[in-house]
Amino acid sequence: MQRERLGSRLGFILLSAGCAIGIGNVWKFPWMARENGGGIFVLIYLIFLIALGVPVMTMEFAVGRAAQKSPVKIYNELEPKGSKWHWHGYLAMAGNYILMMFYTCVSGWMLNYFVSTASGKFDGKNPQQIETAFDSMKADPVQQIVFMAIVVVIGFTVCSIGVQKGLERVTKYMMLALLAIMVVLAVNSIFLDGGKEGLTEYLIPDLTKINTPKKAITVITGAMTQSFFTLSLGIGSMAIFGSYIGKDRSLLGESVNIAFLDTFVAITSGLIIFPAAAAFNIDENLAGPSLIFVTLPNIFNNMPLGRLWGSLFFVFMSFAAFSTIFAVFENIVACTTDLFKVSRKKACLINTIVMFILSLPCALGYSLFKDFHPFGEDTFVLDLEDFIVSDIMLPIGALVFIIFCVTKYGWGWKNFKAEANSGKGLKVANWMRGYLTFVLPVIVIILLISRIASKF
């Protein structure tokens, strides 16, 4: 069977960026930047993005393009005979499923809040009522299951149409709309009366945040962690799109473009949130889900044309969520077709049912399973699933990709470099070999250990 292809370079960049761009860009990056020195955090983040995220992304793209297979089969095409690298392919496939087990539920929250905001459900509500509404939504099993199911059905329906006609076409328009809505929202926030203070706090470097060794380490490790996890590297989410493109562009340059788009969304999210928070004197719960589902609805309630701006914001959030859903679902579908030799439509139908069932524990995590607290009070099924993927599978997977691409026991440096440098654009240089072989793996190991230690 001939492998499908993406129709354009723009489609490849927007699909790959869409996979990287997700909910975490909005509710984690702005808060981390604000709490860790503003502009100085952003600068350190960008350094680690180039030094850590871009090389691993380039490697994922390279193995995908060279193998022309999904993550579950890429190693079978490239590994030395008799080696066991292909075991990681099955772990990568499992990682995509576990990621979607909670991401479909959170994406359902975004759709739910778009409907609620557009219909005026939050109009005139005080902060306590809005917080109660969020808790009630999570504890309502019917709402959770219905909106999760809608996300699953939409996601696999788009993937069933095909790579070009479904996935690429829908994602291209959705991502362009997402970027346009973000710019409109950011301009509106920046020019609010009193918004300048929030803008200054968010972006101007605060050197007091790094005036002691302990503070400096906190800021540096925070920037390193965010730069890695923002790109969703390690479970083959990028490798699949490498398998859908030709060899006319080098992969390092494309990785830089995608990292730039991801960073643009993350920084612009802060330009939406913090000027608005300052303008309306709201300086609490500016992190995590509370930021999106409690603090921001309060801000929109106080804002002229608040229902319009709130609706636009949750459209943007839904698009950001679906950009990741479509990309990872495509990974799951490609793995299924490669592994079981079934048609795309049959793979989508099977996975619609499987994904719905697998997502139920998270959807019911605040009702039926509300007494399950894996990491102590205020942690739920979602937190456990997120930990397994984000803190364990992503860094271990990234480490496997690195070692596979640089060692003679894997695919090897020469093969990786030749594939990555095929086409026009930025090239992987020979001087990078020492860094990618000896330094980058150590950074990822430190990251893995620090993430596990932070939980226990």
Q: What is the SS3 assignment for 424?
A: strand
Name, in order, each residue with C-beta under 8 angstroms of 79's C-beta and a sequence gap of 6 or more.
85, 86, 404, 410, 411
Q: pLDDT by residue (tens digit) across 99-118?
A: 999 999 999 999 999 999 99
Structure tokens at 427: 């090239």
Nearest to 281 by CA among 217, 160, 194: 194
Task: Give the position of tokens 């869409």.
Answer: 18
Task: Give the position of tokens 């069932």.
Answer: 357
Q: Are 85 and 410 in contact (CB under 8 A)?
A: yes
* CA 360 – CA 228 distance, rounded (Å): 29
The whole-number pLDDT of residue 309 equals: 93
Distances (CA, A) of 245 to 7, 21, 83, 405: 9, 20, 27, 19
Name, in order, each residue with C-beta under 8 angstroms of 65's C-beta and a sequence gap of 6 or more.
242, 243, 245, 247, 251, 419
Q: pLDDT by residue (tens digit) across 168-201?
A: 899 899 999 989 999 999 999 999 898 888 888 8
Q: What is the SS3 assignment for 179?
A: helix
Name, in order, each residue with C-beta under 8 angstroms of 177's C-beta and a sequence gap of 6 or more.
319
Element spanning 1, H or E: none
Structure tokens at 293: 């589902």
DSSP 4: P
Q: State which residues of the chain have pLDDT below 50.
A: none
DSSP 2: P
Orientation of helix 413-420 relative to helix 54-67, angle to 10°:
90
Nearest to 100 by CA among 332, 318, 374: 332
* CA 131 – CA 120 distance, rounded (Å): 16
Q: How does DSSP assign 55-105, residue by residue?
A: HHHHHHHHHHHHHTS-TTTHHHHHSPTT--TTHHHHHHHHHHHHHHHHHHH
Orientation of helix 213-229 relative to helix 440-455, angle to 10°:
100
Chain-centroid distance, C-alpha 305: 30
The whole-number pLDDT of residue 136 equals: 95
Q: CA 241, 323, 177: angle at the middle one, nearest 5? A: 115
Structure tokens at 43: 């600068």
